[in-house]
Every structure is written in structure tokens, then in C-alpha cells.
């Protein structure tokens, strides 16, 4: 079973992937949640998954005119990173349960 902090990130990701929240709102909510759920409360694997998503959110640039680096991500790329993170969390949860 995932730790509570990892489980608490899942609704943020689901709201973004379902279209309920846009990329900018997801980014803001993710960063608001991140400090309270940081590494001491996550397993190493959970941290790896969510840290990868953290850096994707960090690299997200909503305004096309401001995307000037190869590392800058658009909404579709952020959505792909969120999808990978959610899938990895589900897989980890299933692995831990049996």
C-alpha cells in the first residue's frame, strides 16, 4: 500500500488528467502540496516517481512565447509526465499489495 502522502498526490494528478484542472492550476496545486509531503514521508520509490513529476511541473511553461529552452514543457508533455506518474503509483501500489 502506498504511503498516505503518495496517496494524497493522486487526486491532484487525476483532476489534471481528467481535465477538471488545467496545467497551470495543477502546477500550482502540486507545488503547494509538495513541501508538506516531501521525502521524509515517502518511500524511496514513491519519491522517485513524484520527484520526476515535480521536475516536469518545474519545466512546464504555459506561455508559448516564453518557451525558449529544450527542457521547457508544454501542457501535453506535462500531461504525459502526470500519466506516467499515476501509472507508476498504481503499479507500485499493486506490487506492494501482492
pLDDT, tens digit, for every residue of 8-49? Answer: 889 999 999 999 999 999 999 998 887 665 667 889 999 999
Q: What is the pLDDT of residue 33?
A: 82
96 pLDDT tier (thresholds 50, 70, 90): confident
**Looking at residues 48-58, what average pLDDT do you find?**
95
Which residues, at least 6 apart from 50, have a Cβ–Cβ distance to it below 8 Å? Answer: 6, 9, 34, 37, 42, 85
Q: What is the mean pLDDT of the chain?
A: 91
| Residue reference for cell 521547457 | 72
C-alpha pair distances (Å), 10 with each of 63, 85, 86, 94 = 26, 9, 7, 15
CA angle 13, 18, 68 (to 5 degrees): 65
CATH superfamily ID and name for 4-97:
Colicin D (1.20.120.650)
Which residues, at least 6 apart from 24, have a Cβ–Cβ distance to it below 8 Å? Answer: 62
2 pLDDT tier (thresholds 50, 70, 90): very high
Residue 75 has pLDDT above 90, yes or no: yes
Distance CA 62, CA 65 (A): 9
Domain ranges (residues) in the chain: 4-97
Amino acid at each position: 500500500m502506498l504511503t498516505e502522502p503518495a496517496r494524497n498526490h493522486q487526486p491532484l494528478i487525476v483532476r489534471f488528467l481528467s481535465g477538471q484542472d488545467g496545467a497551470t492550476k495543477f502546477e500550482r496545486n502540486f507545488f503547494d502540496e509538495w513541501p508538506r509531503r516531501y521525502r521524509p514521508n515517502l518511500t524511496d520509490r514513491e519519491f522517485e516517481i513524484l520527484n520526476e513529476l515535480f521536475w516536469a511541473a518545474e519545466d512546464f511553461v504555459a506561455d508559448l512565447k516564453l518557451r525558449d529552452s529544450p527542457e521547457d514543457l508544454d501542457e501535453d508533455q506535462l500531461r504525459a509526465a502526470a500519466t506516467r506518474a499515476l501509472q507508476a503509483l498504481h503499479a507500485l501500489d499493486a506490487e506492494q499489495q501482492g
